[in-house]
Amino acid sequence: LFSPPKEMYPEVWLELFRQVLFPLVDDSMKRGDEFRLRASSLLARAFLQNVVILSKLESFNLLWLRVINILGSNLTNHNSDTSNLLYVSSLETLKNLIMVMHAEGLFDAMSSEAGQTVWELTWDALNSHAPSSASLLQKDLNQFKIMLEDGNIGGSNTGSDIKVTDFDTMKQSVEVDMNGDRSLSHDESERREKPTSEPNSNGGGLMVV
């Protein structure tokens, strides 16, 4: 899912979502929050890691809205419960997904292809599940849009000075391990494994997604 062969077509990916990932998520909903978190995280990672090829699908907007509805449904029973890992993880994952999609110009591309305003449909879907959580997301994302328009941050299609690797960092933040902690990137793993002569004084915060 995360290192697919280059010759895989968008339609093949769509079938993987339909026949493997979506049924997995549906089954996890019967098994409790822990399984639901793992399945939702796998779904989000597969979507974001392969978003470029998925965006070539004619039905990309429908795939996107289904992913959004699944993650939004994770907020419904735990609305604003910041002590619940499924809620916190899903909220952070949604924010990262929407940031990357917006920065890469995919909302405009989807809307043009579908003849619908997918940005508005996204918020309609989230508001239907958890209005107060959607408001929290909108507040953060409005600030992100301002930064993007000011040229303080950007993706591969925005023409800003920010490198694509900055968005790779956003994609990595969607990766979670079995306990809901963010997976270490390859470089982070090497730094963690190799002792240094000086102690690390940076108290970097943990992003749960």
How much is the pLDDT for 66? 95
> Is residue 176 helix, strand or coil?
strand
**Side chain identity at residue 43, one-letter code:** L
* Overall average pLDDT of the 20-41 stretch: 93
For 66-100, b/e burial (b = at least 16 CB within 10 A) is bbbebbbbbbeebeeeeebbbbbbbbbbbbbbbbb
Q: Please give the mean pLDDT across all residues of the chain.
A: 74
> Is residue 151 helix, strand or coil?
coil
Are the C-beta atoms of residues 25 and 67 closer than 8 Å to each other? no
Are the C-beta atoms of residues 154 and 148 closer than 8 Å to each other? yes
Q: Is the pTM of this model over 0.85?
A: no
Are the C-beta atoms of residues 37 and 85 closer than 8 Å to each other? yes
Per-residue pLDDT band at 78 (split at 50, 70, 90): low
40, two tokens? 């939702």
Instruction: Report the alpha-carbon distance of residue 173 to residue 204 in Å, rounded.
Output: 13
How much is the pLDDT for 191? 41
Q: Decide which of 172 and 45 is more confident.
A: 45
How much is the pLDDT for 65? 95
How much is the pLDDT for 11? 92
Q: Tens of pLDDT along 150-174?
A: 766 544 443 333 333 344 544 555 4
* Overall average pLDDT of the 111-138 stretch: 88
Q: Tens of pLDDT along 79-88?
A: 556 678 999 9
